[in-house]
C-alpha cells in the first residue's frame, strides 16, 4: 500500500466538521460509545489520525531526517480526501501541507494488488506545479477481509521536480477508542499486518534500491501496567516499481535479511501508543544488521479491539552489514 500523499503546489483545502451519513453502520453493542466504521458513506467525516514523516532532501542523498510529532488531519467528503500535515525535523526542515485527493476519476488511479492478485489498495496520482503526488489508501474490501472495521491507512509521498527532494508520510486514521472505553485490566495481543518502504544503498554510495517490505508481528498491550511490547517481522521484499505500477504478479526479491523489530519501553496513555524500536540481526555472509527507531499509534474502535501505528527504523552505529545505509518507514494494522 505504501506510496504517498504529498504536496507543494496544490491548493489549500479546509477541513470541515465531521458529519456522518444516516446509513453509517451501528456501533458494537458491548460499547457505551458510538464509532463510525471506516467503510461508511460520509459527507464530511474528520477522522482521528497519526503520522510520522521521512524527509530526503535529494533522491540521490544517503541521509534522511524524520519527524516524530507530525500534526495531521484527514477528512473524507464523498469522493475526496482532504489531508493536512505539519511538522519540523530535528534538522529544522519544516513540512506544512494541504491537499485534496479525488477518488471520482479526476485524479489518476492505479489499483495495487498483493501477490495472490487480491486488490489491497488504490494509488491516486496528481501532477502539481512543482511536484508529483501519490496517495495510496487501503481498499475497503481488503480491510473487511482482514477483520478491520474502524482503522485504515494511507501513505503520502511527494517528489519535487526541481530540487529533487522526496517526502514520505505514512498515515493511520479512523476512530480512536474513547478513553472511557479502553480496557483497564488483562492483556490483549494484536496480530499485525506490516506494510513498509525499505531502502538501502550499496557500498559504492551511488546505488539505491527501494523495496516494499511485508511480514507479520504481534503487539501486546497490558492494560493494568499500561505497557506495550511486541515484535514486527519483515521477511518478504518486493520490487517497489513493479508493485506500484499495478502489476498483478511480482516476484520476491532475494538476498535481503529478515528484519525483526522489537518494541522497547512501549507505553499506553489513554488510547495512544508510543514505543522505541530496536533490531539486531546476524547475517552470516555480511555481518550484523542493526537499527533503531520509533513507533506512534493508537487503539481504534469499540473497546480498543483494533490497532494502527506508523513507524520508522534506521541503521545505527552498531551496524556492520555490507550495505552502507538502509532504513524503513511505514504502517502496521492489527486486530
pLDDT tens-digit readout, 138-184? 999 999 999 999 999 999 888 888 766 788 999 999 999 999 999 99
b/e burial code for range 269-305 (CB count within 10 A of at least 16 → b): eebebbbebbbebebeeeeebbbbbbbbbbbbbbbbb
How much is the mean pLDDT over the chain? 85
Q: Which triple of cell numbers denotes residue 296? A: 506512534
Domains (range + CATH), the chain: 42-334 (2.40.160.90)
Question: For residue 196, is pLDDT > 90?
Answer: yes
What are the pLDDT digits (tens) for 61-79?
Answer: 667 889 998 999 999 998 9
Q: Which residue has the higher pLDDT, 171 or 248?
A: 171
Q: Which residue has the higher pLDDT, 60 or 145?
A: 145
Confidence of residue 58 (pLDDT cuts 50, 70, 90): low
Residue pair 84/100 in contact (Cβ under 8 Å)? The answer is no
pLDDT at 280: 84
Residue 55 neighbours by CB under 8 Å, 6+ apart: 64, 65, 66, 67, 89, 93, 95, 165, 167
Of 79, 104, 95, whose CA–CA distance to 4 is shortest? 95
CA distance 87 to 52: 9
CA distance 267 to 79: 36
Confidence of residue 60 (pLDDT cuts 50, 70, 90): low
Amino acid at each position: 500500500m505504501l506510496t504517498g500523499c504529498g504536496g507543494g503546489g496544490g491548493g489549500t483545502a479546509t477541513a470541515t466538521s465531521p458529519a456522518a451519513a444516516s446509513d453509517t453502520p451501528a456501533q458494537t453493542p458491548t460499547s457505551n460509545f458510538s464509532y463510525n466504521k471506516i467503510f461508511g458513506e460520509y459527507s464530511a467525516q474528520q477522522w482521528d489520525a497519526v503520522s510520522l514523516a521521512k524527509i530526503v532532501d535529494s533522491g540521490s542523498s544517503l541521509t534522511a531526517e524524520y519527524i516524530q510529532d507530525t500534526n495531521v488531519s484527514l477528512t473524507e467528503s464523498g469522493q475526496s480526501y482532504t489531508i493536512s500535515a505539519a511538522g519540523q525535523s530535528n534538522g529544522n526542515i519544516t513540512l506544512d501541507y494541504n491537499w485534496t485527493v479525488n477518488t471520482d476519476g479526476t485524479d489518476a488511479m492505479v489499483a495495487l494488488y498483493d501477490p495472490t492478485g487480491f486488490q489491497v489498495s488504490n494509488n491516486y496520482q496528481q501532477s502539481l506545479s512543482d511536484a508529483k503526488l501519490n496517495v495510496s489508501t487501503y481498499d475497503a474490501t481488503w480491510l473487511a477481509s482482514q477483520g478491520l472495521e474502524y482503522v485504515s491507512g494511507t501513505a503520502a509521498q511527494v517528489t519535487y521536480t526541481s530540487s529533487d527532494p522526496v517526502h514520505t508520510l505514512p498515515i493511520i486514521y479512523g476512530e480512536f477508542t474513547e478513553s472511557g472505553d479502553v480496557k483497564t485490566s488483562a492483556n490483549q495481543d494484536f496480530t499485525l499486518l506490516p506494510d513498509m518502504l525499505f531502502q538501502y544503498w550499496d557500498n559504492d554510495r551511488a546505488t539505491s534500491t527501494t523495496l516494499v517490505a511485508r511480514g507479520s508481528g504481534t503487539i501486546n498491550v497490558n492494560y493494568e501496567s499500561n505497557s506495550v511490547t511486541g515484535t514486527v517481522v519483515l521477511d518478504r521484499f518486493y520490487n517497489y516499481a513493479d508493485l506500484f505500477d499495478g502489476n498483478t504478479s511480482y516476484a520476491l526479491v532475494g538476498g535481503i535479511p529478515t528484519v525483526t523489530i522489537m518494541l522497547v519501553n512501549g507505553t499506553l496513555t489513554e488510547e495512544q501508543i508510543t514505543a522505541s524500536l530496536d533490531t539486531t540481526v546476524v547475517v552470516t555472509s555480511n555481518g550484523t544488521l542493526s537499527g533503531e527507531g520509533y513507533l506512534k499509534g493508537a487503539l481504534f474502535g469499540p473497546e480498543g479491539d483494533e490497532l494502527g501505528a506508523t513507524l520508522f527504523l534506521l541503521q545505527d552505529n552498531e551496524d556492520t552489514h555490507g550495505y552502507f545505509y538502509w532504513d524503513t518507514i511505514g504502517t502496521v494494522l492489527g486486530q
